[in-house]
Amino acid sequence: MSKPVVLLAEELSPATIEALGPDFEVRSCNGADRAELLEAIADVDAILVRSATKVDAEAIAAAKQLKVVARAGVGLDNVDVPAATQAGVMVVNAPTSNIVSAAELAISLLLSVARRIPAAHASLKGGEWKRSKFTGVELFEKTVGIVGLGRIGVLVAQRLSAFGMKVVAYDPYVQAGRAAQIGARLVSLDELLAEADFITVHLPKTPETVGLIGDEALRKVKPNVIIVNAARGGILDEAALFTAIQEGRVAGAGIDVWDKEPKTDSPLMQLDSVVGVPHLGASTDEAQERAGIAVAKSVRLALAGELVPDAVNVQGGVIAEDVRPGIPLTEKLGRVFSALAGAVPQSLDVEVRGEIAEQDVRVLELAALRGIFGDVVEEQVTYVNAPVLAKERGLETRLVTSTESPDFRNLVTLRGTLADGSQTSVSGTLTGPRQVEKIVEVDGLDVEVTLSEHMAFLRYEDRPGVVGTIGRVLGEAGVNIAGMQVSRGSKGGDALVALTVDSAVPTDTLDAIVQEIGAVSGRTVDLEG
């Protein structure tokens, strides 16, 4: 038998090839040359890329034998994951390969700004000796605020603690006990902004986090604060930061990631108190080598038909055909649950009822966890690391199955208990020959809403005029309603409006609706991406 063919579309370390081992025929091509790539990929079993090679729908269609696309890095911007999934091609990456490098870069930026190293270097290189001009500040006994306590945030906290710093952290999806284990005190974002002498951002980029550190936030900080963003561009509002530094409300900043990349003309780079670099978080020899070795091991596992820890679009192992359609449904229910709850629960039941309960549905428990954590942690969430994330955050899960389902052929319910003892639940099903994904219950109230990219849920006391008010405020904001359903427990009692809309509902618009109708709660859900 011929050996499986692995194509290296970009230069990778010798350690990557060594990790593949002798069981494969290894070929090389220039993945940036489109014609060369399309010819070379035609008969390969796996392709390894970095960032220069675009593995899009055209490339996947040209690769008739392709089983695995492996990205030797964290991002997947150059890989068409939906097209790969549709073609049955596994996509893997190296989600933890750069976490140490990213953490160290954040700290490097913080120190560079604090001690004014780049400006002092430029001055000395220009023939000047002006020691008094570059007086800096110490980290010792200062307070650092870490916005986002995922894996990179934890590494930063641990390392800055060794500098003798006090650590406060904001992350609504981390339990206080978990933060305390690494010596951090969990606080609200407003408390962090007010207390911190240094702020470093380590959040994923989501509709909720874009612009999180903007003009309003930057008016709550100390004037001597130094801010670092080595997470994702756009979380820190660059225009607001520029104004705050010019007005003396922020002392300085270190920036690795930008709202648009590549970016060589940022006004921030005109300021002596800003240190900027061109997205170097993963740019170390060690991170690149770890990434190559990690994806090489994943390719070996995938082509051997074994479980692949870092698969981003499929779970390893055999999944029954009847269960497969429930995987994306359950993952989306997890994302809806997180949005509705606003926090990671302490316990979660994943209830699977109906005909599919006769099959092995353990993958649905993993899908639920992947959905719950997908929008709230910085790292890539896979079916393997999702249980680890749950354990790290003190979340206990239980899979409950029953073949009895009185109202639907199959039903998946996520039912969680939060730290304050309150409960949140959401149920979904697939209907009709096209297997349309629908939400059919929220917090005990019956609804029937097709899952959409943009949704909103409002809880309020039942009374006339509410629906009209919601429509008016959304209309004034230019948000078009695609669908709306009202559900209530009893006349004049607890009521729920579930909306699907054509575009994301701005935060200020949602706040206006909540205030005008006196809502108990208002939540938006964005399932784009």
Exposed / middle / buried, residue 354 (Cβ in 10 Å: 0-12, 13-18, 19+): buried
Give the SS3 label for residue 492.
coil
Whether 454 is a known active-site residue: answer no
| φ/ψ (deg, to 5) at 428 | -145, 160
What DSSP assignment string belongs to 394-450?
Answer: T-EEEEEEES--SS-SEEEEEEEE-TTS-EEEEEEEEETTTTEEEEEEETTEEEEEE
Alpha-carbon gap, residue 373 to 359, rounded angstroms: 25
Among residues 232, 249, 300, 454, the one annotated as catalytic is 232
Among residues 261, 355, 396, 476, the one annotated as catalytic is 261
Give the SS3 label for residue 8.
strand
Contacts of 24 (CB under 8 A, 6+ apart): 3, 4, 5, 6, 46, 303
Alpha-carbon gap, residue 125 to 123, rounded angstroms: 5
Among residues 279, 448, 461, 488, the one annotated as catalytic is 279
Contact 427, 413 (CB under 8 A): yes
Contact 43, 64 (CB under 8 A): yes
Whether 279 is a known active-site residue: answer yes
Structure-token pair, residue 25: 């025929």
Whether 232 is a known active-site residue: answer yes
Catalytic residue numbers, as ranges: 232, 261, 279
